Structures are given as C-alpha cells and as structure tokens.
Amino acid sequence: MPRRAQGPNESVDASIAKALVGTFGLTSLRPLQREAMLAGVEGRDALVVLPTGGGKSLCYQLPPLVTGKLTVVVSPLIALMKDQLDGLRLLGYPAAAAHGNLTPAEKRQLWRELQGDSLRLLFVAPERLFLDGFVAQLTSLDVGAFAIDEAHCISQWGHDFRPDYRRLADLRAVFPNVPFQAFTATATPRVREDIVQQLRLHEPEVHVGTFDRPNLTYRVLPRVELVDQVAEAIERHPDAAAIVYCISRKDTEALAESLRKRRIDARAYHAGLDAKERTQVSERFRDERLRVVVATVAFGMGIDRGDVRLVVHAALPKSVEGYQQETGRAGRDGLPSECLLLYSAADAAKWRQIMERSAAESGVAPDVLQAQLALLFEMQRFANRPQCRHSMLSRYFGQDYPHDDCGACDVCLEELESVPAAHVIAQKILSAVVRTGQRYGMRHVLDVLRGSRTQNVVDRGHDAIPTFGLLKDFSASTLASFVDQLIDAGDLVRTDGEYPILQLAPVAREVLSSERQAVLVLPKRALEAAPQRTRRKKGRATAAAAVAVRGDDSTAEMSQELFDHLRAVRRELAHSIGMPPYIVCNDATLEEMAAARPKTTAQLLDVKGMGHKKVESFGARFLAAIAEFGSA
C-alpha cells in the first residue's frame, strides 16, 4: 500500500510552504508543482510532464523535506546531477550522488550518511544503479520514493531512448511498496503511455503542464547566408548569452571560427573535443566568461544558465522533441528570448543518412530506426508549415493553443517576404533541372543558372542551353534557398545518398504550365529581438526594463544599471565559492532586487529566490552593492 501522510491537505500545504520559504527562499509554486508535491508527500505514483524551466526538480526536491525520508533520484547524466547537487548544498539541503567517480573514501562516507539517515536526496545514474549490488544495499535503507528524471529516455518512441532506462522496471519488483514519480519535459501522448507502462506505475496521477513558453519568440527561416544570419541574430541580443546548434562537429568548428572573425566571442563544443577543452568551454560559458557556444546536441544537458537569450539551430534538429528541449534552454528565467531555426531542405536528407548509417553500425532494431525517421519527418513538417509556431508546438504535445496570433513567431509577425516574380524564377529553376537532364546536384544546376563557366558546365556544353545565366542576379545562397523551397513544396526531388541529384516531381508540371503559381519567400531584414507583446524601447529585453517601460525612462536606466552591477557582484560571489553564477541566484532574482532595492536583510528575504541560507551567505554583499549604488 502506498504510504499516506496523516491529516488533511491543509497541514501538508503548510509543511510544503514552510520548506518552500525556509529552504528554497520561494514564496509561490508554479503550475502543477503543488499537485506533484502532494503526490510525493502522500506517496502516490505520478507522471509529471512540465516544459523545460517549469520547475520539475523542485517537485522531487521538496517532498523529502516534509516526509523526512530519502528519495532516490534517477538521472541520466552525472553533469546534470552535479549541477543540482552544488545548488542544493548552497541551500543547506542534505543531498548526495552515487557515481563511478567517487573515491573509496567518498563511497564509505556516502554510505555512512545514508545509514545515518541524514540525506534526503540521493542522485544516481541508471547504469550505476545496477552495479555491484547497489540495489540490494538500497533495500537496507528506508527509501521513501523514487523520482525518475528525464523519464522519456525509457521509451523507444521518444527522441532520447536509453536502453539502460528499461531496467528501471526491475526496481519496481524490488520495491513494490515504494512510490515512483516520473518526470519529463518532452513527451508526446504516445511516449507518456509508454513511460507509465514501462515503469509499471500503479494508477498514476498524470500531471501535464502547459507546453507553451510565451516568453520565447520562435523563428523558422530559410537558411540563406548562414554566418550573416547567425551573427545578425546574436547582435540582436547585445551582451547576452547564446547557444548555436549544428549537426556535425566540423560545422560547429567552422561556424565558431567565422563568428570569431566577426569579433563575436564564440567557441565550439562537441563530443570529439578532449575532456579538458570541453570542460573549459562549458565552465567558461557557465561562469559568463564566454558569450556564444556553437555546439552539437552534446551541449546543454546540465547547462542550467537561465539567462540564455538566444538559441539558434543552424540546421534542422532531428525531432520536435529535441527542438523543444534545445530551444527550452533559452529564457529559463522567464524573460523574453529568441529561438531561431535556419532551415534547408538538405538537412533532413543529411539526418536520414546519419540515422541509417548509425543504425547499421550499432545494430539497432529496425523499428527504432523507423521511429527516429518518423520523428524527423514531424520536425520537417513543423519547419515547412507556415503556421503559428507556438500553436504547432502545443498541438504536437497534445495541447490546444488558445490564441490566433501569438505575436511571437515568424509566421504571426509576418517576417517572411514573398519574392517578386517568384513564379518565373521557379520556372527557370525547374527548367534548368530539365535541360541538364535531371542528372546533377544542386551545385551544378546553380552554376548553370548563375552563368558560371565551370569546367563541368563547359565540358557538358551546359553554357549553351537557354537557361544558362538566366538567374545571374541572385547569389548562390539565395538560389539554394529557392531550390530548397521548391523541394519543400514538392516540385523538386533531391535523391538521398552521397551524391544527391535534383529531379522534377510530377506536380512540377503545374508550375511549368502556370496552372499553379509558385511562391518563394525570403526573410525580412532587421528582425526585432523581443516578442511584440513585451518589446521594449532599446537594448536588452529584461523584465526590469519591461517594468521600466511603463515607468519613466530614467528609472528604467537606473534599474538596468543596477541589474548589470548586481550581475557583476553575482559573478564575483560565484567566483569566490568556485561555483557558476546561476547557482548563486538567477536573473529574475537579480531583476527583482534591482527593482525593489532592499535595504535590510528582511527586505532581501522577500525577494524571490533569496532563502535564509542564501541571504546568510550572500546577503551582506548584495545589500552593500545596492546601498553603494543608491548613493552613487
């Protein structure tokens, strides 16, 4: 039987509130946190699906403080645990992690603490869990609950399937009476069902949060000039942190270098770098000493920096789940941020190749590969459809989106411009493909259209065909984007394989005969950083500034200045304790501080995110900084 706390919910609520303020310095719960915590405190199985930044960790961190029992948190990555652990320790929360890197002495210490019942959270990776009789040792403890983080990893229909997670079901047999709570940020209805089944959850409560992230502006634009577009996006957010995702390691290095040439502080990050360099890049980014990371998807898990203002996908991600997760790293502090996807039809073909190759090499089951390809197809549809991005994302995760115009996506902001004479341009492109015999790749067709007398063009006599040089006024990258759009529209086909060639689809005849008008678009120049709803007058989009837009400008500048100053203080404090700045507190807390300007410890305690322990450790320094500023 699941354990149930004595007494009515009011007293549980009071205990939750006490721990919330006392330990975490927070005064209110986010949507569904209360429900999730009640399940935790009262010992019921639950599946909690909250978007990135929704506050899942708190849902399993808080209940053990109320029940006084140990919760075992299963989490896929050591980096992810370490970050949380550092944060918890600063709060004075008794937590520890069991992982392979512990020294024998640390291991002994850990078990002493566990047996002494002084810990409330124990983090462990699934592969660790099933080593060396670990589970058997756990049975000797009074485990109050299991929390399964990133629970979608258990499903092969998910985007991040990890076979190790499958074994978690075995735990259920060993701990039949201990409640299990599963947490994830990205789960389609199908994956949700799979989690419940695989983990053998007993009549679980299912809490699904709102997926929409209203503070994010989504843009999906044709990739025309990659470096220009990325640099321009970064400059839309002066001084702010950005993550740029690429498909391949090589791409990350090339793009980081091009950005550095434009004096943008960017470094590449991927699994092929040596461990030292990887650590260096992620630590520099974390400590706000590096502005832009150009990375493969290897980067991000465990990067908890809340003030990332921009996430760029330099190419199509391989699933909507991945896209949601990666873009979710923007604006975790709730402040306006941008997610830009630069898309070319070639990306999907590239992914297909990668997936098929890696499936063949690692011998995954054919249905796992099929599941991956299906997720890729959904992502491609998302990128291609000219529909509100907020709405499409919500619906993908099984939710309605109640607004017609989100005011925060490329479609609703009407940021694409139709190209004049698109139809004629499309006809010229299609006809060049036909005239060259439907036997060449994009590069050759573009050479012909742009009138380049390359060796290949001359050798094949293609400088003599009527379409030669017909579109010489367009840059190669603009034409490549047009070709992509014709592929997306279904008029052109690009074959898969190492040397893809362009061919005409049967429906292209409708365009050639003008039965149907072709449409081509290009991104408008000069996009704005923040969504219209929260757009402010100039500079960075921050809540302090957004508040200030309503007030007078001088107050705005003052609190922005104080905010910048407090950020510097936070960096200093973080440095002094050897931790990343966001562990000290997040931007939202600093903005509240900058706006409220507390003078006393008691006033500082009222600022969201400043609990007793943090005020004790950092309060004096912050108060001094605010006081100094006031008299400046």
Which stretches of the chain bind ligand ADP, using CB under 6 A?
26, 28-30, 33, 50, 52-58, 185, 306, 332, 586, 608
Q: How far is the C-alpha of 477 from the C-alpha of 501, rounded, in Å?
A: 17
Look up residue 44 and give its two tokens.
Answer: 């019921």
Q: Which is nearer to Zn ion, 313 or 570 (CB)?
A: 313
Residue 48 binds which one of Zn ion, ligand ADP, none, with CB within 5 to 8 A depending on kind? Answer: none
Region binding Zn ion by CB under 5 A among candidate stretches 25-33, 192-200, 204-212, 411-419: 411-419
Q: Which is nearer to ligand ADP, 270 or 305 (CB)?
A: 305
Contact 428, 479 (CB under 8 A): no
Residue 540 binds which one of ligand ADP, Zn ion, none, with CB within 5 to 8 A depending on kind? Answer: none
Q: Which is nearer to ligand ADP, 37 or 316 (CB)?
A: 37
Q: Hey, CA dihedral for 400, 406, 408, 413, is it positive or negative? A: positive
Residue 204 binds which one of Zn ion, ligand ADP, none, with CB within 5 to 8 A depending on kind? Answer: none
Residue 412 binds which one of Zn ion, ligand ADP, none, with CB within 5 to 8 A depending on kind? Answer: Zn ion
Q: How far is the C-alpha of 422 from the C-alpha of 532, rounded, in Å?
A: 29
Q: Which is nearer to ligand ADP, 88 or 256 (CB)?
A: 88
Query: Per CB under 5 A, does 416 bind Zn ion?
Result: no
Residue from the set 124, 320, 406, 615 that interacts with Zn ion by CB under 5 A:
406
Q: How far is the C-alpha of 528 from the C-alpha of 233, rounded, in Å?
A: 9
Instruction: State the DSSP H helix or E strand holding residue 46, giving kind and residue range, or none if neither.
Output: strand 46-49
Q: Which is nearer to ligand ADP, 57 or 452 (CB)?
A: 57
Q: Kindly state the smallest distance separating residue 392's Cβ from Zn ion, in Å.
A: 9
**Which amino acid is present at 361?**
E
A 10 A CB-CB count for 352 gives 17
Q: How far is the C-alpha of 614 from the C-alpha of 626, rounded, in Å?
A: 16
Residue 53 binds which one of Zn ion, ligand ADP, none, with CB within 5 to 8 A depending on kind? Answer: ligand ADP
Sequential DSSP letters for 160-201: S--HHHHTHHHHHHH-TTS-EEEEES---HHHHHHHHHHTT-
Query: Per CB under 5 A, does 216 bind Zn ion?
Result: no
Q: How far is the C-alpha of 105 from the C-alpha of 116, rounded, in Å?
A: 16
Residue from the set 412, 429, 579, 593 that interacts with Zn ion by CB under 5 A:
412
The answer for residues whose C-beta is within 8 angstroms of residue 320's C-beta and 6 or more apart is 375, 378, 379, 382, 393, 396
Q: Which is nearer to Zn ion, 212 or 304 (CB)?
A: 212
Residue 406 binds which one of ligand ADP, Zn ion, none, with CB within 5 to 8 A depending on kind? Answer: Zn ion
Q: Which is nearer to Zn ion, 318 or 390 (CB)?
A: 390
Cα 34-40-44 angle, rounded to 5 deg: 115
Strand pairing report for 521-523 and 416-418: antiparallel
Q: How far is CA 93 from CA 24, 61, 502, 592, in A?
A: 9, 9, 60, 24
Q: Kindly state the smallest distance separating residue 600's Cβ from Zn ion, in Å.
A: 44
Which residues, listed in sequence order, are joined to residue 217 by a DSSP beta bridge?
338
Residue 409 binds which one of Zn ion, ligand ADP, none, with CB within 5 to 8 A depending on kind? Answer: Zn ion
Region binding Zn ion by CB under 5 A among candidate stretches 149-157, 333-341, 402-410, 600-608: 402-410
Q: Which is nearer to ligand ADP, 29 or 511 (CB)?
A: 29
Q: Kindly state the smallest distance separating residue 333's Cβ from ligand ADP, in Å.
A: 7
**Which amino acid is present at 548?**
A
Q: Which is nearer to Zn ion, 388 or 584 (CB)?
A: 388
Query: Per CB under 5 A, does 339 bind Zn ion?
Result: no
Q: Which is nearer to ligand ADP, 144 or 306 (CB)?
A: 306
Contact 63, 40 (CB under 8 A): yes
SS3 377: helix
Q: Which is nearer to ligand ADP, 302 or 407 (CB)?
A: 302
Contact 237, 529 (CB under 8 A): yes
Q: Which is nearer to Zn ion, 242 or 388 (CB)?
A: 388
Contact 247, 296 (CB under 8 A): yes
Q: Which is nearer to ligand ADP, 50 or 199 (CB)?
A: 50
Binding-site size for Zn ion (CB under 5 A) equals 5
Q: Kindly state the smallest distance separating residue 337's Cβ from ligand ADP, in Å.
A: 14
Q: Hey, CA dihedral for 245, 78, 288, 613, is it positive or negative? A: positive
The 369-388 site mask, x for binding Zn ion (CB under 5 A), equals -------------------x
Query: Per CB under 5 A, does 226 bind Zn ion?
Result: no
Q: Kindly state the smallest distance separating residue 318's Cβ from ligand ADP, in Å.
A: 21
Q: How far is CA 505 from CA 219, 487, 489, 491, in A?
A: 29, 9, 10, 5
Q: Kindly state the smallest distance separating residue 306's Cβ from ligand ADP, in Å.
A: 6
- Residue appearing with tokens 């983090």: 123
A 10 A CB-CB count for 197 gives 12
Sequential DSSP letters for 218-285: EEEEE-SSHHHHHHHHHHTSTT-EEEEE-SSHHHHHHHHHHHHHTT--EEEE-TTS-HHHHHHHHHHH
Q: How far is CA 211 from CA 38, 53, 257, 308, 374, in A?
A: 22, 11, 35, 19, 21
Q: Kindly state the smallest distance separating residue 391's Cβ from Zn ion, in Å.
A: 6
Q: How far is the C-alpha of 509 from the C-alpha of 505, rounded, in Å?
A: 8
Nearest residue to ligand ADP on Cβ basis: 55
Q: Kindly state the smallest distance separating residue 542's Cβ from ligand ADP, in Å.
A: 16
Q: Kindly state the smallest distance separating residue 84's Cβ from ligand ADP, in Å.
A: 8
Q: Kindly state the smallest distance separating residue 92's Cβ from ligand ADP, in Å.
A: 15
Q: Kindly state the smallest distance separating residue 417's Cβ from Zn ion, in Å.
A: 17
Residue 282 binds which one of Zn ion, ligand ADP, none, with CB within 5 to 8 A depending on kind? Answer: none
Binding site for Zn ion (CB under 5 A): 388, 390, 406, 409, 412
